[in-house]
Structure 1
């Protein structure tokens, strides 16, 4: 679903319950994963619309509940929606509309800023849209201090898509997607929300023996640590990288080894879930054979998985992984094409069939 939708700006009632409209930004390709997480974690929530990189939903909970949405990059409260023309002469509509909004519920006078995005054939820039929005807020609240892009405490967002405008308040800090922690990252590390989406697709259970064969700096392991498990294990071929992983995982019940992922120290059919980010072409040594590596990794993942065990794998070798999975009787439950760091890897969800 795309485009404009009708929902009042704040404090609406559905079935006698007061609900608010929000949206969460997410890595393009993972919208359905985040929607599923919202439906499972937020009581009385409803996904209203899914756009590329955004999931709109209503919820009755306080904001503290939304911290559980770990597949989201950021969270926003929708304050207003309206339509606007494509020419510069129409920009004044932004200023006037926003100047009429009651933002007093925030109860704060900290420095604010507005970021903007624009999609369509308008004759104005996103910076001009942001400027009009800032002027509209300042017109209504002249004692509010206007900050800068780098120095502000309150952040609003205005998104223009063709004729449609959504004005929102950012609820999360810049560090939200990094779990509000200082982390050490190895080359090609995943952002925590992407790692969490992979964990979520594994359907975490408290009885899981969970393994990440190529754990890097431990982001997937860290996200799996947010849920109970019988055992969480990971490893990497680099001693230096595993030291980074251990420092990032300090305080979690996670075991990290130095190992060759193609020769895992597990007996056949003893692992419930394997979730991993396989090295992409640029991450393999110049003399490495990526096709051979993938072949060996897929066989090893199949070997250690229990019958009906699940493997969630991110790779840019989509065709080969499909072929390898078919050869091994790993059934592809789902696949997602992502937009990640200028590449378009595929996220696969495989299930091991009954044969051993």
Structure 2
């Protein structure tokens, strides 16, 4: 955004009026950081003072850092692609005075939210739909896509006023900044630029060593500080990582299986079921038990039931859910022919097999028809159903053919690079 013309001071308020000030060389009548005047002060067309006339070419603005309270930390959280809106709902529901600053997306990699909150930073690790937590150390806009953009990035990071607060938050959360602080840079770039992704990381690293407090040494691994640098087109965000890999893998599995559900996605699905202490909660395609473990972690329940058609999966469930307390049943189940009475279940959350896990499309249609019929039968009126499906068109067809089910929301996400949809359903009160 171009800098705005400051108000002219009256000659009586100082020894020299603005009109008498010398002009910058080569730019008659203009002052530093200000576009030249393009028209009369009072435009007959009614445009604001200093506005460019219609049809004028708009010049690229100077690199601009955001105007924020530098003493207040700016946090960033990342999650799986598409889960960002559900993470935002968790932030709004659980944190004190949350204020969303920006929502960004790295295609097929992450959703990122930037926000302020009055909640203690140590409590932010409890955000279950988040996979990583950061504090922002630098942020700037209007980065040029040509080679000059690298100089702009260097200057923005070198002179960022967010650095002292970010380093303070980092140390408060157990981070180390010894006399010689080692750091590594993780760089991601979206959009088209004339420079390589690696060059962005080098510009940031040079800026850190040039002007950040203390002494800094760039390393490839085992660093004291991990900085994630993301260039979102013309916006640069440099964030210090506060979390470890334990945040994204908070559900510990004794037995793992290929394509097991990410805990953040399981957490988002469980939140959509509106957990209550009266939940009789079923996952009949439980796999490694991530959804059941997540439901057990978020609060009290009446009963949990985990099942799978595979004997191998049932054995894995028994080991992975061994530490879950309360009323938990683990059974071998066929999701299309369940041994429950009508209305016995009031919450059902499940990850449906993806197309690659089913032999052909006919089998997929048969599977989805069967599960929808059972959902309508065993879930109590008013009960919630949340399902993750890759073949959303097939599932929607079967839902539409089941009058007892009503769609309350759909949330497109990406799972291991494949598009999928979380569907939130309600069992109608007939």
Question: What TM-score do the two structures reach when normalised by structure 1?
Answer: 0.90
Aligned twin of 2:428? 353
Q: How many residues align?
A: 344
Matched, 1:311 2:381: no
Match of 1:240 in 2: 312
Instruction: Verify: 1:54 aligned to 2:112, yes or no.
Output: yes
Query: How far 1:130 sits from its partner (Å)?
Result: 0.8
CA offset at residue 173 of structure 1?
0.8
Q: Distance in 2 between matches of 1:304 and 1:111?
A: 57
Note closer, same or farther for the CA distance 1:132–1:183 as it changes in structure 2 (3 Å cut). farther
- Residue number in structure 1 paired with 2:177: 108
- Going from structure 1 to structure 2, the CA distance change for 1:287 and 1:124 (only over 3 Å counts) comes to closer
* Correspondence 1:152-191 to 2 at 5 A: 152-179=223-250, 181=252, 183-191=254-262
CA contact 2:65–2:140 (8 Å) conserved in 1: no
Contact 1:157–1:168, Cα closer than 8 Å, also in 2: yes
Q: Could you tell me which runs of 5 or more consecutive residues in structure 1 were left unpaired when the two chains were aligned.
A: 13-19
> Equivalent residue of 1:93, what SS?
helix
> C-alpha separation between the residues in 2 aligned to 1:202 and 1:5?
40
Distance in 1, matches of 2:65 and 2:356, equals 42
Counterpart in the other structure of 1:263: 337
Higher Rg: 2
Asked if the contact 1:34/1:71 (under 8 Å) is kept, the reply is yes
Say if 2:146 is the partner of 1:74.
no
Could you give the per-residue CA deviations for residues 276-300 of structure 1, whole angstroms, max 9, x where no partner exists? 0011111125698111011111111
Query: Does the 8 Å contact 2:306/2:329 carry over to 1?
Result: yes
CA distance in 1, matches of 2:184, 2:146: 24
What is the DSSP-based 3-state SS (H/G/I as helix, E as strand, rest coil) of the residue aligned with 1:328?
A: coil
1:309, 1:114 → 2: CA distance?
47
For residues 131 and 75 of structure 1, the distance between their equivalents in structure 2, rounded to whole angstroms, comes to 23
Distance 1:260 1:181 in 2: 26
Q: Which residue of structure 2 lines up, in the alignment, with residue 88 of structure 1?
A: 147
Q: Could you say what secondary structure the match of 2:123 adopts?
A: helix
Matches within 5 A, 1:221-236: 221-226=292-297, 227-236=299-308
Comparing 305-314 with 89-98, greater Cα deviation is found at: 89-98
**Alpha-carbon offset, residue 335 of structure 1:** 0.4
Q: Which residue number corresponds to residue 34 of structure 1?
A: 87
Give 1:97 shift.
Answer: 2.9
2:87 match: secondary structure: helix
RMSD across aligned positions (CA): 2.1
SS state at 1:91 partner:
helix
Correspondence 1:219 to 2:290: yes
Other structure's SS at 1:244 match: helix
Deviations 1:210-263 (A, max 9, x none): 000100000111111112111111101112112222222221133221121222
Distance 1:123 1:9 in 2: 33
1:24 aligned partner = 77
Counterpart of 2:71 (choices 11, 20, 45) is 11
